[in-house]
Structures are given as C-alpha cells and as structure tokens.
Amino acid sequence: MWTLVNSQLSKARLAFLHFDKDLAREVVLKEKRVNGSELKIDRDCENIFALFCPVAIDLRFLLAVLKINSNLERIGDIAEGIARYIIDAEAPFTEELLTSTRILPMYEESGRMLEDTQAAFEREDTILARSVFKRDDLLDEVNKNSNKILEIHLKSRPEDTAQALWILSIIRKLERVGDQSKNVAEEIIFYLEAKVLKHYNNKHG
C-alpha cells in the first residue's frame, strides 16, 4: 500500500508537470486500490488483535500500522484530488506561476518525505524517521508565502485567476502530505522506541 501511495503521489506530480490528463485519470482510477488496501489492512489488524492478544512491541506495531494505514489512505485521497484538478483544468500551468510559487520543489520534497517514511519503517530507522520533521519546513514556507505571491501576480495578470486558484489548492494539499508524513514518522518512532511524540511537538529533533 505504501508503494502504491508513493506511486499515486508521483504520478499525480508527473501529470501536473506535463499536463497529462490521461495519467491523471489513471491516478483517479487507482484510488479504489488504495481504499481496498486500507480496508484489508484494517481487517488483518483486527483479526490479529482477536486471535493473538498482542502485547509490548507487537501491540505497538499493530497500533502504529493502524494509524499509518489511515495516514496513507489520506495521502492517496490527496493524490487523487490533485489528479482531478488536472483533469478539470483548461490549460497547462504557466511557467511563471510554477516558478514564483515554488510549487515544484514543494512537490518533490513532499514526495521524498513520504518515500523516507517508508524506508524508515522498513529499516526500523528512527534517525531517518526524525529527519522528516525538519524537512517539513520547506512545505510550510511555500504554503505560507503562496497567498502573497499569487496576489502580486494577479494584480498584473488577472487572466491567470483560475490557474492561481488551482495552484493554491494543490499547495494546500501538498502541505497536508507533509503533515501526514510527520504523523507516520511519529508512529514509526512510537513503535520502535515506545515514545509518544504527539504531545511533544516542540521537542522534535
């Protein structure tokens, strides 16, 4: 499922970059597989709880998987949402808007964050998981600056209003990918170190 969601986010990025509506439609169609995977993993976890009554690290593993599963499903929804924007948009996004908003570096970083959470989980690497927190700064910065940048752009190019709204919506979605990836990193650390980071947001690092 993790690999599938990574692929969905990556394909939505390529569809956005090349204004490829066919690839965007493929992302929308595959969303059913993401939802199917989420339901299967939930059922598997419930069965293990019922049959084995896991404790200690096994219990933490299952609790982490349930929460990661939910976060991955939401990222899958975000990828589908971006793909739908591309299907509905009437023209490719202007180079000027892509450059000034820094949406492409934001998209690349959000994809890398998600890939690194998968690698951290597979390798049981809490150092890699922790590195995800800091890298969310770029996403927050692009998101924070986007309103002002687009406002300035639209004063001289009001004809780009529709495109600016699409881009702003995608920036908001990518910012949420960063948040979901941080949630996943927290669950990996919880599972491996029995630490709950949610209540210590100021102590990341």
Region 109-127: mean pLDDT is: 96
Q: Does the pLDDT at position 204 exceed 60?
A: no
Q: What is the pLDDT of residue 194?
A: 84
Q: Does the pLDDT at position 197 exceed 90?
A: no
Q: Which residue has the higher pLDDT, 202 or 105?
A: 105
Residues 136, 139: Cα–Cα separation, whole Å: 5
Q: How do residues 27-36 score in pLDDT, each as one tens digit?
A: 999 999 999 9
Q: What is the pLDDT of residue 203?
A: 54
Q: How do residues 35-61 score in pLDDT, each as one tens digit?
A: 999 999 999 999 999 999 999 889 999
**Rounded to 10 degrees, what is the CA torsion of 11, 14, 20, 21?**
40
Q: Which residue has the higher pLDDT, 24 or 203?
A: 24
C-beta separation of 35 from 76 below 8 A: yes
CA atoms within 13 A on the CB side of 40: 7
Residue 99 class from Cβ within 10 Å (0-12 exposed, 13-18 middle, 19+ buried)? exposed
Region 186-201: mean pLDDT is: 80
* Mean pLDDT for all residues in the chain: 94
Q: How do residues 73-92 score in pLDDT, each as one tens digit?
A: 999 999 999 999 999 998 99
Q: Does the pLDDT at position 10 exceed 90?
A: yes
Beta strands per DSSP E along the chain = none
Confidence of residue 200 (pLDDT cuts 50, 70, 90): low
Q: What is the DSSP letter of 93?
A: P
